[in-house]
Structure 1
Amino acid sequence: MSKVPEWFLQELRQKVDIVDVVSDYVQLRRSGRSYSGLCPFHNERTPSFSVSQDRGMYHCFGCGAGGTVINFVMDIEGVSFQEAVIVLAERAGLTVPEGLGAGATQPNTKQQRHREAHDLAAQLYGYILMNMSAGVQALSYLEKRGISRKTIVDFRLGFAPNSQDVLVSALRRRGFQDEELVSCGLAVEMGNRIVDRFRGRIMIPICDKKGEVVAFGGRTMLPDGKPKYLNSPENDVFHKSRLLYNFHAARKFIRQQRTAILLEGYMDVISLAQAGISSGVASLGTSLTEEQAKLLKADADRVVIAYDGDAAGRKAAIRAIDILQGAGIDPVVLSIPDDLDPDEYVRTYGGEAFTRLLGRQTMSVVQFLLDDLRQTANLVSPVGRTDFVRSALQLLAQRATPVEQEYELRNLSQEFNLSVETLKEELRVFTKQNKRHREQSVERTAQSIAAQPLERAVSRASTELLKAVLFDEQAAAYVMEKGLTELAEPLQTALLAQLYAWRLANPTSDPSTFVDELEDEPLVQLASSLFFGDDIPEFSQDLLDDYVRTVERHHLEEDYRVLLRRWIEVEASGDTERAREIKLQVEQLQDQIATLKLPREQNAGGVKEAGM
């Protein structure tokens, strides 16, 4: 996976405490010999995320994420193996081996060229805005909107003039080829030549999590210009569904407060930051995505949705609520008075007023959804009022806590002159319906799990054999000598093959080095799970023989079932000769299965767990 010397990785593992690293992102509590917390990679309310300080590993028993501290930094920060090594080395005060730094900052030449081109473009656009006559109108526009020159510099704002090739010409002089400029989205083809993609627009750099410019948002200067905002196209470096505008700068403030402010537009973020509210981020011209919610989940427990109050903004807020709750984040919705957007409100009343607004005008999800129902309800007619009350009660049954239900029922009672008891009775009907739907869903899930053919015994035996090969050099040699090549599941079999190759090449290496060498994410997850659970036992030959017999018998029984069905089909067809041949094979398999029966199973009718 990497060109990092093994001696350096060993030193890094000794110097870096995985609990300290993970604690920067996850609130951990000691649980026995390990630490546990809510997984930062998926939505959960009950902790299933474990970190072993002794073994230097993490694993989530909910989503399967796991690996070493290097894997954790790769996953949580979205960086390469070498970049994660450098981050951890800097944290530990270690000097990286010569040549590693350059290799890590340029893991992909094409991607690095993309970043270099965008950084140079940001410099050029910024210079034009602040120092050239072509940028005077754009600079005046920003200042009229209350954006200070310091903020312009902080956010690296710029201006792309109407000239068709000012950027193309500049980057050609810096050695960039035309095809590079087109592929990274800074230029477009026009007939036989290429021209600047962005022209006559205020340029807003979009940065990745490390703060490097990877794209732009361009705002038109024309009153009727279309589109109002033009974003860079997606490519190898820029995926708008995976980034949030200003996340790199806002992250430390979000982490301090465990709260983020989710805004609709670039100018909302910039205005709030200038007013001293630094935890604002925005999605990039699209609705909030699951990937963006996962970014926030690592640092925030709560997100204030501060979208525009129009119909489109309310619709986007509802979508964001579902996505944030799906990621395990508690959303609230800010109600901004006078139909103003956040940028307009801050420019009109100031940052302190907006901060007070955050404390006074936030609504819970239930309050916001009830308010949204009210926006479209026909409260003039009796039928419309009845429909609204029923919809409100259904909403309370689905999403409200008992305290919220009590509070809102009293409000509904006063508004519509209905008794609280009548409303509660109707609410109970909806609650029962919801409970029945949930129970049916749970039952279907349970039936699905029960229908899985894999037996506990062979699953346990396969897992223990993987542990034996991973943690015990002598046990690994014995299992390889037995010639076992297939376990219960394809993924386990694939990991076993990788373990064999690793053991032969590294007979005395630390098991964590094996995990760092894996490139396939499902294999990393499976391998990391082996480090957790019960203490690693001593693998005697008798115990290993039990496990091997259990696995071999499992495969023979699968073959037996297939052959038995085939025998029945052939006999039914009237082919007595072929049926006799298959019957003989069935009997041979029965004999083989009987020879593999464990001594302690002689008085049992089924397969029991080996080694238990």
Structure 2
Amino acid sequence: MGLIPEEIIETVRLRSDIVEVVSRYVQLKKAGKNHLGLCPFHHEKTPSFTVSQDKQFFHCFGCKVGGNVFRFLMLKENLTFSEAVTVLAQRAGVAIPVSDSPAWQEKDLKRKGLKQANNLARDFFRQVLQRHDAAAPARQYLAGRGLTPEVLERFQIGFAPPGWTSLLDHLGKKGYRPQELVEAGLVIKNEAGRYYDRFRSRVMFPIWDTLGQVVGFGGRVLDDSQPKYLNTPETSFFSKGRTLYGLHLARQPIREKGRVIIVEGYMDVITAHRHGVTNTVASLGTALTAEHGKLLLNYSRDIIIAYDSDTAGVAATIRGLDLLLELGCQVRVITMPDGKDPDDFLSKHGPGPWEELIDRAYTLIEYKLQQAAARGHVKTVADKTEVMRQVFPGLAAKSGVQKEEDLKTIARVLNLSWETVAGEFKRFEENLGKKWTNPDNIAKNTHTIIRKGEKLDARGKAEAVLLRLVLENPARGYKILAELGEEPFRNQQYMTIFKHCLEAGQHPEYRPEGMFSTFENEGQNILSYILTLDIPGDNPDKIMYDYIRSVNRCARHERREELLRQIRAAEKSGNDFQHQNLLRELVFLKNIDEAEKARDFGRVRKLTGEYKQIFCFDTESTLERGGTVHE
């Protein structure tokens, strides 16, 4: 499908009541103007998921996800924006016109045809497994692995016959040209220009997208031929880096259990599901990608990695842990005993001992230390220093209690005193702090605060309320610009929303909830968060100026802290001239603060004007951008 016209999208949005859509998935209760329920995107016991019928958006105060009705369906069913609009349009009885572009129609038709070829191939392989004499060894192998007819049906397992052109001939009779099947990943063209089946004499495992459509295959040989597993290559609709095997079957169990288990292979997933561990998916090999992580975050932040215990599996686990932690996931690792994989372990021991393994899963710190100790890499001072360098980043964002416990664990494993390890970590934090002083990281940190639910500082809170006031009435934005300058918000996402709001507010039909489609994931999360804020008091303009003063106050405080650091440095270096100038500026800022405390706003304006004329410095504070306050 081509681009959907904006007026159609808006019609679908207006006809799709978000409370009705969300209620298909979440049990909602009326609470004042809003509806509350348990969040479908993370595991929780106390409802923190709110839906506004008036403004037609949702927001979770637990995992900080939010957006409009399209975003909800995209996250819940892992759809693209166009797919979500199409689903809701069908429910609302809105016809979506087909793109007028012949090129688009041809491309869309071709893509659908190639995907359909994979579905037809799946049917062909299943028939061969059930009826073909050549599939007898495959049937025997699968039965020996404990795969009942019901399991074969659920996972749509088949067999590719040994002939060179069996599938090519079969799909050719259905109208597919050989080159189309090459593009579908099912056929190979050799240097001589001849076409032949990619998969031959292999047990076939279909790979699905999140909607259950076949997009590729994994084929396993029954003898010692190489490669043992052969996968569909990258196509226009299949990428290993964006696909998780079995996710369409595991989505609901993941939400119900509040966590997801990632394994390596097809049989690991199938065996796990056979034993009732249905919240299991596979990463189609050992390489976890950022796209995998983002996909999983739609369903749970609690992720357990259960890769093989061989060297490649260990290395892949560590890479996966680091990547998922960077995305904000809570990650643990199962270590497989005796060199087994999950398939072996579950087949031998069953789900009970498997659950015990999950309960004993390592955190990142514990796992890295355990692996380092197992390799004997904690003998010299250099070894121990390198191990600490690897594990300290995972401690930085933890609570004080958890951090102390982890430091004790590090000290115990490395045979060092707690004081030594704590001292090394303190130096690490000091160096980390220096890296976080630039404006980009400050803005990034603010996003993290919002996403993880930590408390905003005074300036962050003031900026959030100011943005809420502007969303309610965009005309206020020009007053804020007049008071705080061209960049009134330290948080760059706030700044982006602010600019869009000023532009959208020029249209008479402006409504803040109509802006959701303007932003991607994080922007929608922040916009929904801002819209949940209540405007305090009954005089919003007075509130606005109060919070403008708060932003200026915070800016002065930030500058004073910087001045004190510079004054100490000047004293240490003996630079008396710089020392005197810095002290003079510090006194000036204190005078402005005292005038504001006395509510002498005329004097505040006068002193601020003089301050800007006298002092020039290169910081990000609002003061230098022209921050003054009108009473």
Taking structure 1 as the reference length, the TM-score comes to 0.68
Q: Report if aligned partners of 2:605, 2:629 keep a CA contact under 8 Å in 1.
A: no
**6-15 or 151-160, which deviates more:** 6-15
Question: Which aligned pairs between 1:207-222 and structure 2 lie closer than 5 A?
Answer: 207-222=208-223
Which of 397, 402, 405 aligns to 1:403? It is 405
Is 1:199–2:193 an aligned residue pair?
A: no
Name the CA distance, whole Å, in 1 between partners of 2:183 and 2:254. Answer: 34
CA drift of 1:205 comes to 0.5
Other structure's SS at 2:207 match? strand
Q: Report if aligned partners of 2:206, 2:218 keep a CA contact under 8 Å in 1.
A: yes
**391-400 or 130-139, which deviates more:** 391-400
CA drift of 1:258 comes to 1.0
Question: Which aligned pairs between 1:465-476 and structure 2 lie closer than 5 A?
Answer: 468=473
Question: Which aligned pairs between 1:263-412 and structure 2 lie closer than 5 A?
Answer: 263-359=263-359, 361-377=360-376, 384=379, 399=395, 401-407=403-409, 409-410=411-412
CA drift of 1:256 comes to 1.1
Q: Name 1:141's counterpart in structure 2.
A: 141
Q: Name 1:250's counterpart in structure 2.
A: 250
Question: Which aligned pairs between 1:172-187 and structure 2 lie closer than 5 A?
Answer: 172-187=172-187
Q: Name 1:418's counterpart in structure 2.
A: none
Is 1:443–2:437 an aligned residue pair?
A: yes
Name the CA distance, whole Å, in 1 between partners of 2:98 and 2:236. Answer: 20
How many pairs align?
508
CA drift of 1:238 comes to 1.2
Q: Name 1:188's counterpart in structure 2.
A: 188
Assess, with a 3 A threshold, how the Cα gap between structure 1 residues 304 and 144 changes in structure 2: closer, same or farther. Answer: same
CA drift of 1:176 comes to 2.6
Is 1:432–2:426 an aligned residue pair?
A: yes
Other structure's SS at 1:262 match? strand
Name the CA distance, whole Å, in 1 between partners of 2:97 and 2:12. Answer: 13
> For residue 365 of structure 1, what is the amino acid of its counterpart?
L
Q: Report if aligned partners of 2:186, 2:197 keep a CA contact under 8 Å in 1.
A: yes
- Offset from partner CA, 1:83-130 (integer Å, 9 cap, x none): 3246558xxxx9542756999xx9943332232111111011011011
Q: Report if aligned partners of 1:260, 1:300 keep a CA contact under 8 Å in 2.
A: yes
CA drift of 1:54 comes to 3.2
Assess, with a 3 A threshold, how the Cα gap between structure 1 residues 462 and 265 changes in structure 2: closer, same or farther. Answer: closer
> For residue 251 of structure 1, what is the amino acid of its counterpart?
R
Other structure's SS at 1:209 match? coil
Name the CA distance, whole Å, in 2 between partners of 1:412 and 1:124. Answer: 57
CA drift of 1:224 comes to 3.0
**488-497 or 5-14, which deviates more:** 488-497
Name the CA distance, whole Å, in 1 between partners of 2:259 and 2:276. Answer: 15
Q: Name 1:165's counterpart in structure 2.
A: 165
Q: Name 1:585's counterpart in structure 2.
A: none
Q: Report if aligned partners of 1:462, 1:487 keep a CA contact under 8 Å in 2.
A: no
> For residue 12 of structure 1, what is the amino acid of its counterpart?
S
Name the CA distance, whole Å, in 1 between partners of 2:8 and 2:304. Answer: 42
> For residue 441 of structure 1, what is the amino acid of its counterpart?
K
Q: Name 2:93's counterpart in structure 1.
A: 97
CA drift of 1:492 comes to 6.8
Q: Report if aligned partners of 1:307, 1:317 keep a CA contact under 8 Å in 2.
A: yes
Q: Report if aligned partners of 2:18, 2:53 keep a CA contact under 8 Å in 1.
A: no
> For residue 364 of structure 1, what is the amino acid of its counterpart?
T
Question: Which aligned pairs between 1:10-25 and structure 2 lie closer than 5 A?
Answer: 10-13=14-17, 16=20
Name the CA distance, whole Å, in 1 between partners of 2:274 and 2:282. Answer: 15
Structure 1: stretches of 5+ with no match in the other structure: 42-47, 414-421, 451-455, 480-485, 544-598
Assess, with a 3 A threshold, how the Cα gap between structure 1 residues 30 and 330 changes in structure 2: closer, same or farther. Answer: farther
Q: Report if aligned partners of 1:209, 1:248 keep a CA contact under 8 Å in 2.
A: yes
Name the CA distance, whole Å, in 2 between partners of 1:514 and 1:180. Answer: 41
Name the CA distance, whole Å, in 1 between partners of 2:345 and 2:366. Answer: 22
Other structure's SS at 2:417 match? helix
Is 1:84–2:84 an aligned residue pair?
A: yes
Q: Report if aligned partners of 2:287, 2:316 keep a CA contact under 8 Å in 1.
A: yes
Other structure's SS at 1:219 match? strand
Name the CA distance, whole Å, in 1 between partners of 2:31 and 2:291. Answer: 29
Q: Name 1:231's counterpart in structure 2.
A: 231
Name the CA distance, whole Å, in 2 between partners of 1:397 and 1:523. Answer: 30
- Offset from partner CA, 1:499-522 (integer Å, 9 cap, x none): 66xx4xxx5586645655x59889
- Offset from partner CA, 1:375-429 (integer Å, 9 cap, x none): 22267xxxx355555556666755373123335545665xxxxxxxx61232132
Q: Report if aligned partners of 2:306, 2:335 keep a CA contact under 8 Å in 1.
A: yes
Name the CA distance, whole Å, in 2 between partners of 1:365 and 1:403. Answer: 13
Assess, with a 3 A threshold, how the Cα gap between structure 1 residues 32 and 228 changes in structure 2: closer, same or farther. Answer: same
**176-185 or 256-265, which deviates more:** 176-185
CA drift of 1:303 comes to 2.0
**128-137 or 141-150, which deviates more:** 141-150
Q: Report if aligned partners of 2:26, 2:37 keep a CA contact under 8 Å in 1.
A: no
> For residue 215 of structure 1, what is the amino acid of its counterpart?
G
Name the CA distance, whole Å, in 2 between partners of 1:306 and 1:163. Answer: 37
Structure 2: stretches of 5+ with no match in the other structure: 43-47, 100-104, 396-401, 445-459, 480-485, 489-494, 545-601, 613-625
- Offset from partner CA, 1:306-358 (integer Å, 9 cap, x none): 11111111111111111221222222221222211111222333344433433
Taking structure 2 as the reference length, the TM-score comes to 0.66
Q: Report if aligned partners of 2:13, 2:69 keep a CA contact under 8 Å in 1.
A: no
Other structure's SS at 1:217 match? strand
Q: Report if aligned partners of 2:111, 2:236 keep a CA contact under 8 Å in 1.
A: yes
**27-36 or 150-159, which deviates more:** 27-36
Name the CA distance, whole Å, in 2 between partners of 1:343 and 1:118. Answer: 27
Assess, with a 3 A threshold, how the Cα gap between structure 1 residues 173 and 458 changes in structure 2: closer, same or farther. Answer: same
> For residue 175 of structure 1, what is the amino acid of its counterpart?
G
Name the CA distance, whole Å, in 2 between partners of 1:13 and 1:170. Answer: 46
Assess, with a 3 A threshold, how the Cα gap between structure 1 residues 144 and 60 changes in structure 2: closer, same or farther. Answer: closer
Q: Report if aligned partners of 1:17, 1:53 keep a CA contact under 8 Å in 2.
A: no
Other structure's SS at 1:281 match? strand
Assess, with a 3 A threshold, how the Cα gap between structure 1 residues 539 and 209 changes in structure 2: closer, same or farther. Answer: same
Q: Report if aligned partners of 2:264, 2:286 keep a CA contact under 8 Å in 1.
A: no
Q: Report if aligned partners of 2:368, 2:391 keep a CA contact under 8 Å in 1.
A: no
Q: CA RMSD in A?
A: 5.0
Question: Which aligned pairs between 1:601-612 and structure 2 lie closer than 5 A?
Answer: 603=606, 605=609, 607-608=626-627
CA drift of 1:192 comes to 3.6
CA drift of 1:5 comes to 7.8
Other structure's SS at 2:358 match? helix
Question: Which aligned pairs between 1:90-129 and structure 2 lie closer than 5 A?
Answer: 95-97=91-93, 108-129=108-129
Q: Name 1:131's counterpart in structure 2.
A: 131
Other structure's SS at 2:16 match? helix
Name the CA distance, whole Å, in 1 between partners of 2:30 and 2:177. Answer: 53
Name the CA distance, whole Å, in 1 between partners of 2:533 and 2:368. Answer: 43
Q: Report if aligned partners of 1:30, 1:36 keep a CA contact under 8 Å in 2.
A: no
CA drift of 1:373 comes to 0.7
Name the CA distance, whole Å, in 2 between partners of 1:114 and 1:369. Answer: 44
Name the CA distance, whole Å, in 2 between partners of 1:266 and 1:312. Answer: 17
Other structure's SS at 1:443 match? coil
CA drift of 1:215 comes to 1.0
Name the CA distance, whole Å, in 1 between partners of 2:162 and 2:299. Answer: 41
- Offset from partner CA, 1:10-38 (integer Å, 9 cap, x none): 232265366x58969xx999999898999
Other structure's SS at 2:315 match? helix
